[in-house]
Amino acid sequence: MPGNPISERPASALSENDQDMITEAAHRAWLNQSAEDVLDPETPVIDAHHHLWHGYGKPVPWQPDYWQKEQAADLSSGHNIVATVFMECGYRYDDGVANALRPIGETRAINGYADSFQDVTGLSCKAAAGIVGFADLTLGTQVQATLEGHLATAPDRFRGIRQITPWDPSPEVRYPGFNIDEGLMLSPKFAEGFGQLHKFGLSFDAWVFHPQIPEVAELATRFPETTIILDHFGGPLGVGPYRGKQKEIFAQWKRDISLVAQCPNVFAKLGGLAMEHAGFHWHERPRPPTSDELVEACGDYYLQTIDLFGPERCMFEANFPVDKISCSYRTLWNAHKKIARRFGVAEQQAMFFGTAKKVYRLDI
Protein backbone atom coordinates (compact mmCIF):
# COMPACT_ATOMS: atom_id res chain seq x y z
CA MET A 1 0.00 0.00 0.00
CA PRO A 2 1.28 3.51 -0.69
CA GLY A 3 2.47 5.59 2.21
CA ASN A 4 2.44 9.32 2.80
CA PRO A 5 3.18 10.97 -0.58
CA ILE A 6 5.54 13.51 0.98
CA SER A 7 8.36 11.02 0.39
CA GLU A 8 7.47 10.66 -3.28
CA ARG A 9 9.09 13.82 -4.60
CA PRO A 10 8.68 14.10 -8.40
CA ALA A 11 11.82 13.43 -10.38
CA SER A 12 11.27 15.70 -13.36
CA ALA A 13 12.36 18.92 -14.97
CA LEU A 14 10.13 20.92 -12.61
CA SER A 15 11.73 23.69 -10.63
CA GLU A 16 12.36 23.16 -6.93
CA ASN A 17 9.53 25.60 -6.11
CA ASP A 18 7.11 23.64 -8.32
CA GLN A 19 8.20 20.38 -6.73
CA ASP A 20 7.68 21.85 -3.26
CA MET A 21 4.16 22.98 -4.22
CA ILE A 22 3.31 19.48 -5.47
CA THR A 23 4.74 17.86 -2.35
CA GLU A 24 2.88 20.26 -0.06
CA ALA A 25 -0.42 19.74 -1.91
CA ALA A 26 0.02 15.95 -1.78
CA HIS A 27 0.67 16.05 1.93
CA ARG A 28 -2.37 18.27 2.49
CA ALA A 29 -4.53 15.77 0.58
CA TRP A 30 -3.09 12.95 2.70
CA LEU A 31 -3.94 14.82 5.92
CA ASN A 32 -7.47 15.57 4.73
CA GLN A 33 -8.29 11.86 4.62
CA SER A 34 -8.92 11.95 8.36
CA ALA A 35 -10.99 15.14 8.52
CA GLU A 36 -12.97 15.31 11.76
CA ASP A 37 -15.58 17.57 13.27
CA VAL A 38 -14.09 20.05 15.72
CA LEU A 39 -14.61 19.21 19.39
CA ASP A 40 -15.54 21.98 21.85
CA PRO A 41 -14.97 24.76 19.30
CA GLU A 42 -15.61 27.55 21.82
CA THR A 43 -12.84 26.51 24.22
CA PRO A 44 -10.19 29.28 24.28
CA VAL A 45 -6.76 27.85 23.50
CA ILE A 46 -3.21 29.16 23.63
CA ASP A 47 -0.97 27.15 21.32
CA ALA A 48 2.12 27.13 23.51
CA HIS A 49 4.69 26.03 20.91
CA HIS A 50 5.10 26.49 17.16
CA HIS A 51 7.69 27.55 14.59
CA LEU A 52 7.67 29.90 11.59
CA TRP A 53 9.75 30.24 8.47
CA HIS A 54 9.48 31.83 5.04
CA GLY A 55 11.90 31.41 2.15
CA TYR A 56 14.15 29.63 4.64
CA GLY A 57 15.88 26.79 2.86
CA LYS A 58 13.80 23.63 3.00
CA PRO A 59 13.19 22.86 6.70
CA VAL A 60 10.54 20.22 5.98
CA PRO A 61 9.50 19.00 2.53
CA TRP A 62 5.79 18.98 3.37
CA GLN A 63 5.87 22.62 4.55
CA PRO A 64 8.61 24.62 2.77
CA ASP A 65 6.97 27.80 4.09
CA TYR A 66 5.07 28.22 7.34
CA TRP A 67 4.22 31.89 7.46
CA GLN A 68 1.07 33.99 7.74
CA LYS A 69 -0.97 32.21 5.08
CA GLU A 70 -0.01 28.72 6.21
CA GLN A 71 -0.39 29.35 9.91
CA ALA A 72 -3.70 31.17 9.37
CA ALA A 73 -5.07 28.12 7.55
CA ASP A 74 -4.31 25.97 10.60
CA LEU A 75 -5.51 28.51 13.15
CA SER A 76 -8.82 28.96 11.31
CA SER A 77 -9.48 25.22 10.91
CA GLY A 78 -12.05 25.24 13.69
CA HIS A 79 -10.47 25.46 17.14
CA ASN A 80 -10.60 28.73 19.08
CA ILE A 81 -6.89 29.58 19.13
CA VAL A 82 -6.67 32.98 20.81
CA ALA A 83 -2.87 33.30 21.02
CA THR A 84 0.32 31.43 20.22
CA VAL A 85 3.91 31.20 21.42
CA PHE A 86 6.72 31.17 18.84
CA MET A 87 9.68 28.89 19.48
CA GLU A 88 13.11 29.60 17.99
CA CYS A 89 14.15 27.63 14.92
CA GLY A 90 17.20 29.46 13.58
CA TYR A 91 15.19 31.64 11.21
CA ARG A 92 16.57 34.76 9.50
CA TYR A 93 19.58 35.42 11.70
CA ASP A 94 21.36 38.73 11.18
CA ASP A 95 24.42 38.91 8.95
CA GLY A 96 27.39 41.18 9.43
CA VAL A 97 27.32 41.10 13.23
CA ALA A 98 29.08 39.11 15.91
CA ASN A 99 27.93 35.47 16.05
CA ALA A 100 26.49 35.93 19.52
CA LEU A 101 24.17 38.67 18.26
CA ARG A 102 22.99 37.00 15.04
CA PRO A 103 19.91 35.30 16.66
CA ILE A 104 18.40 38.73 17.37
CA GLY A 105 17.45 38.83 13.69
CA GLU A 106 14.96 36.02 14.28
CA THR A 107 13.31 37.91 17.12
CA ARG A 108 13.06 41.02 14.94
CA ALA A 109 11.42 39.06 12.10
CA ILE A 110 8.91 37.33 14.37
CA ASN A 111 8.05 40.52 16.23
CA GLY A 112 7.21 42.09 12.86
CA TYR A 113 5.17 39.00 12.00
CA ALA A 114 3.18 39.40 15.21
CA ASP A 115 2.62 43.11 14.58
CA SER A 116 1.07 42.48 11.17
CA PHE A 117 -0.59 39.08 11.58
CA GLN A 118 -4.12 40.24 12.39
CA ASP A 119 -4.17 42.85 9.61
CA VAL A 120 -2.75 40.46 7.01
CA THR A 121 -4.94 37.46 7.87
CA GLY A 122 -8.08 39.05 9.28
CA LEU A 123 -7.93 36.69 12.27
CA SER A 124 -8.29 37.87 15.85
CA CYS A 125 -5.67 35.42 17.15
CA LYS A 126 -2.59 37.05 18.69
CA ALA A 127 0.00 34.98 16.84
CA ALA A 128 3.47 34.97 18.40
CA ALA A 129 2.15 36.82 21.44
CA GLY A 130 5.16 35.32 23.17
CA ILE A 131 8.57 34.85 21.55
CA VAL A 132 11.25 32.42 22.70
CA GLY A 133 14.61 32.95 20.99
CA PHE A 134 18.06 31.46 20.95
CA ALA A 135 21.15 32.53 22.87
CA ASP A 136 24.33 30.53 23.32
CA LEU A 137 24.46 30.06 27.05
CA THR A 138 27.94 28.57 26.82
CA LEU A 139 29.15 32.15 26.39
CA GLY A 140 28.77 32.46 30.15
CA THR A 141 28.26 35.99 31.42
CA GLN A 142 28.97 37.34 27.93
CA VAL A 143 25.54 36.08 26.84
CA GLN A 144 24.09 39.18 28.51
CA ALA A 145 24.58 41.17 25.29
CA THR A 146 22.41 38.69 23.37
CA LEU A 147 19.69 38.72 26.02
CA GLU A 148 19.66 42.51 26.11
CA GLY A 149 19.42 42.61 22.32
CA HIS A 150 16.43 40.26 22.23
CA LEU A 151 14.60 42.23 24.90
CA ALA A 152 15.30 45.57 23.22
CA THR A 153 14.01 44.19 19.91
CA ALA A 154 10.71 42.79 21.22
CA PRO A 155 10.18 44.22 24.72
CA ASP A 156 6.46 43.36 24.81
CA ARG A 157 6.80 39.80 23.54
CA PHE A 158 10.23 38.33 24.26
CA ARG A 159 9.91 35.84 27.09
CA GLY A 160 12.64 33.25 27.08
CA ILE A 161 15.50 31.26 25.58
CA ARG A 162 15.75 27.83 24.06
CA GLN A 163 19.12 26.29 23.27
CA ILE A 164 19.23 23.11 21.19
CA THR A 165 20.44 20.40 23.58
CA PRO A 166 19.07 16.96 22.47
CA TRP A 167 21.98 14.49 22.31
CA ASP A 168 22.24 10.74 21.94
CA PRO A 169 25.18 8.42 21.28
CA SER A 170 23.41 6.93 18.27
CA PRO A 171 23.88 8.71 14.93
CA GLU A 172 20.44 7.32 13.97
CA VAL A 173 18.90 9.55 16.62
CA ARG A 174 20.99 12.71 16.57
CA TYR A 175 19.75 15.55 14.40
CA PRO A 176 21.94 16.14 11.33
CA GLY A 177 23.49 19.56 11.20
CA PHE A 178 23.54 20.11 14.96
CA ASN A 179 26.87 19.88 16.75
CA ILE A 180 25.77 19.27 20.33
CA ASP A 181 28.11 18.16 23.09
CA GLU A 182 27.20 15.35 25.43
CA GLY A 183 26.19 16.72 28.84
CA LEU A 184 25.95 20.28 27.50
CA MET A 185 23.45 21.44 30.14
CA LEU A 186 25.76 20.31 32.95
CA SER A 187 28.86 22.07 31.66
CA PRO A 188 30.27 24.95 33.77
CA LYS A 189 30.03 27.53 30.98
CA PHE A 190 26.42 26.63 30.19
CA ALA A 191 25.55 26.97 33.88
CA GLU A 192 27.25 30.36 33.97
CA GLY A 193 25.15 31.57 31.06
CA PHE A 194 22.01 29.93 32.40
CA GLY A 195 22.46 31.88 35.61
CA GLN A 196 21.91 35.11 33.66
CA LEU A 197 18.33 34.25 32.64
CA HIS A 198 16.73 35.03 35.98
CA LYS A 199 18.42 38.44 36.06
CA PHE A 200 16.55 39.33 32.87
CA GLY A 201 13.25 37.70 33.87
CA LEU A 202 13.58 35.06 31.17
CA SER A 203 12.52 31.41 31.13
CA PHE A 204 14.25 28.44 29.53
CA ASP A 205 12.63 25.91 27.20
CA ALA A 206 14.41 22.56 27.51
CA TRP A 207 14.39 20.41 24.38
CA VAL A 208 15.99 17.04 25.16
CA PHE A 209 15.72 13.34 24.43
CA HIS A 210 14.30 11.21 27.22
CA PRO A 211 17.67 9.87 28.52
CA GLN A 212 18.59 13.50 29.28
CA ILE A 213 15.60 14.26 31.52
CA PRO A 214 17.70 13.82 34.71
CA GLU A 215 19.96 16.62 33.43
CA VAL A 216 16.93 18.93 33.34
CA ALA A 217 16.13 17.96 36.93
CA GLU A 218 19.70 18.73 38.00
CA LEU A 219 19.60 22.09 36.22
CA ALA A 220 16.25 22.96 37.81
CA THR A 221 17.53 22.05 41.27
CA ARG A 222 20.63 24.17 40.83
CA PHE A 223 18.64 27.19 39.59
CA PRO A 224 15.30 27.05 41.45
CA GLU A 225 14.53 30.71 40.70
CA THR A 226 14.51 30.15 36.92
CA THR A 227 11.37 28.89 35.17
CA ILE A 228 12.07 25.86 32.97
CA ILE A 229 9.60 24.47 30.45
CA LEU A 230 10.13 20.83 29.47
CA ASP A 231 9.23 20.55 25.79
CA HIS A 232 7.54 17.55 24.16
CA PHE A 233 7.24 15.37 27.28
CA GLY A 234 11.03 15.32 27.51
CA GLY A 235 11.42 13.73 24.05
CA PRO A 236 10.66 10.01 24.35
CA LEU A 237 12.48 8.21 21.52
CA GLY A 238 11.33 5.36 19.31
CA VAL A 239 13.84 5.26 16.45
CA GLY A 240 17.31 3.81 15.94
CA PRO A 241 18.34 1.65 18.91
CA TYR A 242 15.09 2.60 20.69
CA ARG A 243 12.79 1.21 18.01
CA GLY A 244 10.42 -1.50 19.21
CA LYS A 245 11.23 -0.88 22.87
CA GLN A 246 8.24 1.27 23.83
CA LYS A 247 7.51 -0.54 27.09
CA GLU A 248 11.07 -0.24 28.36
CA ILE A 249 11.32 3.37 27.24
CA PHE A 250 8.06 4.32 28.90
CA ALA A 251 9.22 2.72 32.17
CA GLN A 252 12.48 4.68 32.13
CA TRP A 253 10.71 7.86 31.07
CA LYS A 254 8.20 7.47 33.90
CA ARG A 255 10.96 7.20 36.50
CA ASP A 256 12.82 10.21 35.17
CA ILE A 257 9.78 12.43 34.59
CA SER A 258 8.79 11.76 38.20
CA LEU A 259 12.16 13.17 39.27
CA VAL A 260 11.90 16.39 37.28
CA ALA A 261 8.26 16.89 38.30
CA GLN A 262 9.46 17.31 41.89
CA CYS A 263 11.08 20.61 40.85
CA PRO A 264 8.38 23.29 41.27
CA ASN A 265 10.07 25.61 38.77
CA VAL A 266 9.59 23.12 35.90
CA PHE A 267 6.48 23.17 33.71
CA ALA A 268 5.55 20.59 31.07
CA LYS A 269 4.41 20.93 27.47
CA LEU A 270 1.97 18.28 26.34
CA GLY A 271 2.65 17.52 22.68
CA GLY A 272 5.40 16.82 20.18
CA LEU A 273 4.85 13.05 19.98
CA ALA A 274 3.86 13.21 16.30
CA MET A 275 7.48 13.96 15.37
CA GLU A 276 9.40 11.24 13.55
CA HIS A 277 11.84 10.51 16.36
CA ALA A 278 9.01 9.48 18.71
CA GLY A 279 8.77 6.36 16.57
CA PHE A 280 5.05 5.98 15.93
CA HIS A 281 5.62 6.05 12.13
CA TRP A 282 2.24 7.54 11.32
CA HIS A 283 3.77 9.44 8.41
CA GLU A 284 4.53 6.13 6.68
CA ARG A 285 0.90 4.98 6.62
CA PRO A 286 -1.52 5.31 3.70
CA ARG A 287 -3.84 7.34 5.96
CA PRO A 288 -3.01 9.69 8.86
CA PRO A 289 -4.11 8.79 12.39
CA THR A 290 -7.45 9.85 13.81
CA SER A 291 -7.63 11.70 17.11
CA ASP A 292 -8.73 8.45 18.75
CA GLU A 293 -5.61 6.72 17.47
CA LEU A 294 -3.44 9.55 18.78
CA VAL A 295 -5.06 9.24 22.20
CA GLU A 296 -4.69 5.46 22.22
CA ALA A 297 -1.00 5.61 21.32
CA CYS A 298 0.07 8.60 23.42
CA GLY A 299 -2.50 8.90 26.19
CA ASP A 300 -0.32 7.32 28.88
CA TYR A 301 2.34 10.01 28.36
CA TYR A 302 -0.27 12.74 28.76
CA LEU A 303 -1.99 11.28 31.81
CA GLN A 304 1.24 10.42 33.63
CA THR A 305 2.63 13.93 33.06
CA ILE A 306 -0.58 15.66 34.14
CA ASP A 307 -0.77 13.45 37.23
CA LEU A 308 2.82 14.27 38.25
CA PHE A 309 2.94 17.98 37.41
CA GLY A 310 -0.70 18.88 38.00
CA PRO A 311 -2.78 20.75 35.38
CA GLU A 312 -1.55 24.10 36.71
CA ARG A 313 1.96 23.20 35.50
CA CYS A 314 0.96 21.72 32.14
CA MET A 315 0.16 23.33 28.78
CA PHE A 316 -0.89 21.86 25.45
CA GLU A 317 1.25 22.52 22.38
CA ALA A 318 0.95 21.82 18.65
CA ASN A 319 4.64 21.92 17.66
CA PHE A 320 3.55 22.82 14.14
CA PRO A 321 4.50 22.57 11.41
CA VAL A 322 6.92 19.86 12.58
CA ASP A 323 4.18 17.55 13.91
CA LYS A 324 2.24 18.18 10.72
CA ILE A 325 4.19 15.29 9.24
CA SER A 326 1.74 12.99 11.03
CA CYS A 327 -1.59 14.75 11.51
CA SER A 328 -3.59 17.89 10.86
CA TYR A 329 -3.94 20.78 13.29
CA ARG A 330 -7.64 20.03 13.77
CA THR A 331 -7.03 16.35 14.52
CA LEU A 332 -4.20 17.08 16.97
CA TRP A 333 -6.26 19.53 19.04
CA ASN A 334 -9.19 17.10 19.01
CA ALA A 335 -6.85 14.54 20.57
CA HIS A 336 -5.75 17.06 23.21
CA LYS A 337 -9.39 17.80 24.02
CA LYS A 338 -10.34 14.14 24.30
CA ILE A 339 -7.61 13.65 26.87
CA ALA A 340 -8.55 16.83 28.72
CA ARG A 341 -12.18 15.73 29.10
CA ARG A 342 -11.07 13.44 31.90
CA PHE A 343 -10.42 16.53 34.04
CA GLY A 344 -12.58 19.26 35.56
CA VAL A 345 -13.41 22.57 33.90
CA ALA A 346 -10.82 24.57 35.86
CA GLU A 347 -8.13 21.98 35.16
CA GLN A 348 -8.90 22.04 31.44
CA GLN A 349 -8.80 25.84 31.45
CA ALA A 350 -5.32 25.72 32.98
CA MET A 351 -3.91 23.30 30.42
CA PHE A 352 -5.46 24.98 27.37
CA PHE A 353 -5.00 28.59 28.43
CA GLY A 354 -4.02 29.55 31.96
CA THR A 355 -0.63 27.88 32.36
CA ALA A 356 0.77 29.20 29.09
CA LYS A 357 -0.58 32.69 29.82
CA LYS A 358 1.09 32.67 33.24
CA VAL A 359 4.42 31.09 32.26
CA TYR A 360 4.96 33.26 29.16
CA ARG A 361 3.31 36.33 30.71
CA LEU A 362 1.07 36.87 27.70
CA ASP A 363 -0.89 40.08 27.29
CA ILE A 364 -4.25 38.53 26.37
| Residues composing the chain | 364
pLDDT tens for 239-294 read: 999 999 999 999 999 999 999 999 999 999 999 999 999 999 999 999 999 999 99
Where the chain has pLDDT below 70, the residues are 1-22, 58
Measure the CA–CA gap between 269 and 91, rounded to whole angstroms. 22
pLDDT the model gives residue 150: 98
pLDDT the model gives residue 6: 37
pLDDT the model gives residue 8: 34
Half-sphere exposure of 261 (CA within 13 A, CB side): 21
pLDDT the model gives residue 60: 80
Q: Is the peptide bond before 321 cis (omega within 30 degrees of 0)?
A: yes
Nearest to 321 by CA among 1, 51, 48, 110: 51
Concatenate the DSSP letters of all residues of 8-31 into one string. Answer: ----SS--HHHHHHHHHHHHHHHH
Measure the CA–CA gap between 133 and 111, rounded to whole angstroms. 11
Taking the whole predicted model, whether its pTM rises above 0.85 is answered as: yes
Q: Any bridge partners for residue 45, and if so which?
A: 81
pLDDT the model gives residue 62: 82
CB 287 within 8 A of CB 331: no
Which distant-in-sequence residues (6+ apart) come within 8 Å of 11 by Cβ? none
CATH number of the domain at 40-359, out of 3.40.50.720, 3.40.50.2300, 3.20.20.140, 3.20.20.120? Answer: 3.20.20.140
